[in-house]
Amino acid sequence: MRKLLVIIIFCHLSSFSQTYFNNRYGASANSLDASRVIIYDNNNFIVQDAFVSSYSDNLIKLSMMKLNVFGYLTDTKMFIENELSVSQSRNNGSLKRFSSSSLYSVGVIRKYNSWVYDRGSLFKFDNSLDTIWTKKFGEAIMPLDTNYYFEHFDLNEAKDLIVIGEINMQGESSEVLLMKIDSSGNKKWERYYESGPFNLGTNVLSLPGGGYALSCFKWQFQSTISHNYLIRTDSLGNELWRRYIGGPLDDGPLFLAWSASDSTIVGAYHTADSALTNSDSYNRLALIKVDVDNNLVYDKKFMPEKDYDQWNFYVYGINIDAMNNIVVVGSTNEPVYHSEGYLFKFTNAGDSLWYRQYKIGTDIQTDHYLTGVTPAPDGGYAAVGYFIPAFSDTGNQDVWVIKVDSMGCISEGDCWLGNREITAYQSKEGLKIYANPSSGRINIEVPQDDRGDDYVLTIWDLYGRKADEVIVPPGAANVGIDISGWSPGLYTVVSASGGKFKGRGK
């Protein structure tokens, strides 16, 4: 009995301990890799990787990588079709488990002829990540000038696949595509939706009780105006209502997640603050929540204005964890024109908790993009994207995967708090701050060993901006700070003495 108890205790500790990693992966030494898709599945992270073999190869291949919870690559499978490009979807959520023995994935298969011939693709995988079958969906009547793209899917209560994407007619116009496919890969029906000449279906949610929520993106060539619209349909794809979202300038695609705690639809996108095209603008993050009857719960904007250098700030995905918190993933350009990935965490009510930026390279010109995120069983998050090395960062473009804890720290006590990552020693209890939370005045207790000269407290908001800095008088046991005029949110206090970090608290 004593041995059994010991085993149980160790299993419990192992299952709840935090894991961390920050790694790059490539299909081969010469390949150029990118990913937008990651899921946690059966004690592993599964990453879908689209790659080309070299700079001169324009045929895209597909691979599936299996990582354990410590980030070690345990399995890789490649899928190559002669004379065809096989690509993953551009959206996280295009890979899902269907049953205890199979997974599904959607994307695009391209054949080059006098133009291009694109078809939506549906893969069925077994637990070893081998393909059970592949299905292609598209135009079958000559001259094959209409292209199909699959972007995302969900499973309805009958285990049918509801796929959203785009149908493009001769490159002159496009409509949102919604297709229902049974579990054997047979098409049941397809529907189309539009609002102007060019439309893209980004995400789809299967709603409890029947029907679907569709995020749709309308855009124009060489325009500074693009918007989203949210559609709810019945179980046959017939439109029940639509809501136009964003504006008045250039917005990015709307990414959706289902909030089971209050049966609402949550969406995130980036919205422009300047009349420039979406590819070159100052952006902020927008978070919206709507119920299934089209009642607006909230519509919030985050990120400071352009004085905080949110140049080309992009949203690429959203997810909701087991505690009903919302996490958004994307990338942002730093002032020296290199990109870093970020995670932004919110309560389900849309209140910001923390914002972190990440990178793996060291060269100032290296670009980092995070494009998909999934909750992890230890309360943290795994995010996927790609890494484009420059100069001193060697190698080719690789898939990049990070695993962080519930506070977004890339390793224990190592959290991004500004223009650089700060590694702060943290005692068991950290800095003692009271009243906490507070909207009026806080007191910070100075540890006994630090009541000497040169003790400084620096307070950062969740965007990494310095909110206040206090030089503590020698011998002081505590410091009082008036925060009544501060914006609501999470703040981090970092203490330092003699130029060395001593502790932190929140």
10-residue averages of pLDDT along the chain (506 residues):
34 57 87 92 93 74 92 91 75 89 93 81 95 92 85 95 94 93 97 94 96 94 81 98 89 96 96 66 89 97 58 89 96 78 94 91 91 95 95 90 94 70 39 76 78 75 72 80 80 72 68
Structure tokens at 112: 């080059």
Query: Of 222, 227, 315, 228, nearest to 277 (Cα)?
Result: 222
Distance, in Å, from the CA atom of 428 to the CA atom of 415, rounded to the nearest integer, reads: 17
CATH code at 433-505: 2.60.40
Q: Is 115 helix (H, G, I), strand (E, B) or coil?
A: coil
Domain 19-416, CATH homologous superfamily name and number: TolB, C-terminal domain (2.120.10.30)
Q: DSSP letter string over 308-375?
A: G--EEEEEEEEEE-TTS-EEEEEEEE-TTS-EEEEEEEE-TTS-EEEEEEE-S--STT-EEEEEEEEE
Query: Of 497, 430, 445, 506, nearest to 476 (Cα)?
Result: 445
Structure tokens at 173: 């116009």
Distance, in Å, from the CA atom of 495 to the CA atom of 424, rounded to the nearest integer, reads: 8
Cβ count near 154 (within 10 Å): 20
Distance, in Å, from the CA atom of 388 to the CA atom of 375, rounded to the nearest integer, reads: 25
pLDDT at site 210: 93
In this structure, what DSSP letter does residue 59 have?
A: -
Cβ count near 321 (within 10 Å): 18
Question: Where in the chain is CATH 2.120.10.30?
Answer: 19-416
Amino acid found at 423: T
The values of phi and psi at residue 306, to 5°, are -65, -15
> Is the sign of the CA dihedral 270, 317, 32, 405 positive or negative?
positive
Structure tokens at 82: 């002669």
Q: Is 472 helix (H, G, I), strand (E, B) or coil?
A: strand
Question: Where in the chain is CATH 2.60.40?
Answer: 433-505
* Contact indicator for 321, 288 with CB cutoff of 8 Å: no
Query: Of 226, 254, 228, nearest to 318 (Cα)?
Result: 254
